[in-house]
Amino acid sequence: MQGKLPMTLINPTVLQNILRNVSLQLPEGYELIAGVMTENICLYYELVKVSIATIPHCIRLIISVPLKTANYYFTLYKVVTLPERMSYNKFVQYIVNYPYFGLHNNECDILFAEEYFNHCI
């Protein structure tokens, strides 16, 4: 299962402690997208994705936390599909799973869906 992190599962104080520990383990140049200040913790309930994995005698929560880096920028593009004629009066238009992609140094580095576009700056 994958979804959002409910506040009833992990309270804000515990989440802040988890994020603080994660931020100490990040490679150089990476940081949490909203920092670890108390007033920003509520943002993570919208930003993080949670997966549940079960192993014998244990349930694990896998929290996917978005990161940012100050020295790595993307040029953002949107894929626009145009209708294609199939017959005289019938057209089809392809729907792509990831309508946005980011390029860095002319290499496609990131694909993402519409909901992630709103988080871009």
The continuous run of DSSP H or E covering 22 comes out as helix 12-25
- Give percent of the chain above pLDDT 90: 7
Q: Where are the domains of the chain?
A: 2-69, 75-117
- Where are the strands (E) in 1-115, listed by range? 2-3, 30-32, 49-55, 58-64, 67-69, 75-78, 84-87, 90-92, 100-104, 107-112
With cut-offs at 50, 70 and 90, classify the pLDDT of residue 73.
Answer: low
Please name every residue paired with 104 in a beta bridge, in sequence order, or none if there are none: 107
More confident residue, 22 or 108: 22
**Predicted confidence (pLDDT) at residue 13 exceeds the cutoff of 90:** yes
- Separation CA 15–CA 75 (nearest Å): 32
Q: What's the pLDDT score for residue 115?
A: 66
- Separation CA 107–CA 76 (nearest Å): 12
- Separation CA 20–CA 120 (nearest Å): 23
**Predicted confidence (pLDDT) at residue 1 exceeds the cutoff of 60:** no
More confident residue, 77 or 20: 20
- Separation CA 42–CA 15 (nearest Å): 9
